Amino acid sequence: MKKKKFKWFLCCFILVNVFLVSIVNSTLAQTNNQGKITAIVVEGNENVAKDLIISQISSNLGDVFSKENLEKDMKAIYDLGYFQDVKIKLESFRNGYKVVFTVIENAILKDIKFSGNTIVSEEEMREVMIVKEGQILSYKILKNDLERISQLYKERGYLLIDFAKVDFSQEGILSIELIEGRLEKVAVEGNDKTKEKVITREINLKTGDLFNFEKAKKSLQNIYNLGFFEDVSMRLEPGEEPESVILVIKVIEKDTGKIGVGVGYNTEEGLMGFAEYAEENLFGGGQKLQAKLEIGGRTTYKFYFLEPWFANTPTSVGVEAYDKIITRENKEGSTVIGEYDLERLGGRLILGRKIGESFNLGLELKSEKVTYELVSGELPEDINEGWTNTLTPTLSYDTRDNVFEPTSGWFHSLSIEKAGDFLGGDYSFTKYNLTLRAYISTKFITDIFDLRSLESITNKLSEGVLALRAAGGIADTSLPSFAEYQVGGMNTLRGYDFNQFSGDKSLVFNLEYRIPLTDSFQAVIFADWGQAWDYSEAFNLEDLKFGRGLGFRYETPLGPIRFDYGINEEGEGKSYFSIGHTF
């Protein structure tokens, strides 16, 4: 009996302990689940995939509830751009929390309407947009689309683009209103001598125009290319009208005049003297004037005047009268057998018209008398004298960034010089002339050669410029001696005598590599090819003479002083000293 009671007691004890253990475990489990996320649910989405929404949620099942983390999740979902609103709701679930993200989707995009655009067409803007009709609108994608539209404007130089209104209605209509910034006015600073109109007429933008940065940069270069200023800069200031700007041009003027007077005496010609005056910006109006008089055994003179903007239009009108003498040598081979003076007496009328930003038309009417006077020895046998009247139309194309020191761009010129016939004079001929120039920056050197050990050298080489020129001319008949093409010397074929080769047709090719060493000092490596032929001879590239050498340029207020040393095909060297680049 006692044994039965003990067994019964033992069974009850075990059952009670099991019951107590289960209660403790259940309590512990409930305690551990308090504050944990036990479910995540997304509601309200109809067009946006649930997987896309969930991919933005960083909270996971089993994470301890964190208000801060859930707010970040809510923001990440909202930042997808597809929703008007995102809300969070918490519900008890399995001893934890069920997090319910409720989203309110944007409407389906039914139409896009643009307004205010005049530069970029609606078709171009639609082409770069990702947002399309029939899709649910995403403000995030729309924001990127607006940036792409802005880029379309900026690529064309229109930097002042803005959006006055971007509105999406409940009916699914997206309205985009653009504001294209305009130029309110132009202001000029620093022009003590130069008249303001001389500066502003070079600006390709007018008051009320849409502001184009590329046109403003080109205008700045046009002003600098006048040659009146050491420096030209610009800044933009806000205008009185919304989305308008004031373009302020600041110039630093330089001396544009030159005066020279001299007196001398020798036993052959007696008392001699000269007076010279030159002004590139006469009275600040942009006109050019040159006057020079030399008095001695023979009197020579030059008078030149140019009005670059006749009647307030981009039409240039100029006149020149001159009597100049050039001393030349008569050679047989390398032996000098005579010396003589070639005198040119005449005048010319010059007309020009700028067409667009890059093209220029020119017309020159010239009348000139050529005579020869023996100084010593013998005159050449084939010289010609007399009057020549010529009419020369010219078409030029110029995209150089700087006419004084170009680093990029092109300059091409085509001219036809007609002499005689209806113009009168002692000679009749026609000359066809073509010149092609190119200027190429050598920045590509650092891209081609990765020489880090020589970085300072490659950087300096990459700052250089390759300058190339091809020039040719041909006449329709044998030319008088004074009108022949001349090849040889510092401006055509270095390493050879001045005008060593002459003929009725010619070809010249030049290549220069200009390397800046300092701000005002430049080294030049050059190679030249050139030749001239008689009318009866054909062009033959094998006849071209070759010269090569080194040179230096030093920048001065008068222009770059040039020193070149050229070596010809026979290995003979010649030195040349001048002002200005070869081309």
At 23 the pLDDT is: 33
Cβ-count burial 480-495 (b if 16+ within 10 Å, e if not): bebbbbbbbbbbbbbb
Give 35's contacts (C-beta < 8 A, 6+ positions apart).
Answer: 64, 65, 96, 97
Phi, psi (rounded to 5 degrees) for 236: -110, 135
Closest CA to 567 of 576, 558, 580: 576
Distance CA 325, CA 370 (A): 10
Residues (pLDDT < 70) of the chain are: 1-34, 265-270, 297, 446-460
Q: Give the CATH number of domain 34-105; options: 2.170.190.11, 3.30.1860.10, 3.10.20.310, 1.20.58.100.
A: 3.10.20.310
Q: Tens digit of pLDDT for each residue in 465-503?
A: 999 999 999 999 999 999 999 999 999 999 999 999 999
According to DSSP, residue 539 is labeled P
According to DSSP, residue 3 is labeled H
At 12 the pLDDT is: 39
Q: Tens digit of pLDDT for each residue in 521-561?
A: 999 999 999 999 999 999 999 999 999 999 999 988 777 89
Q: Please state the domain extents for the chain.
A: 1-32, 34-105, 111-180, 182-253, 257-383, 388-583
CATH 3.10.20.310 fits 111-180, yes or no: yes
Fold match between domain 34-105 and domain 182-253: yes
CATH 3.30.160.100 fits 388-583, yes or no: no
At 263 the pLDDT is: 80
Domain 182-253: which CATH class?
A: alpha beta
Distance CA 98, CA 40 (A): 6
First-to-final CA distance of the chain: 133
Q: Tell me the one-letter amino acid at 163.
A: F
SS3 label, residue 333: coil
At 5 the pLDDT is: 38
Q: Tell me the one-letter amino acid at 63.
A: D
SS3 label, residue 256: coil
Q: Tens digit of pLDDT for each residue in 271-297?
A: 778 899 999 999 999 999 999 999 876
Which helix (H) or strand (E) segment holds residue 402: the answer is none
Which residue in this structure is represented by tokens 């230096």?
Answer: 552
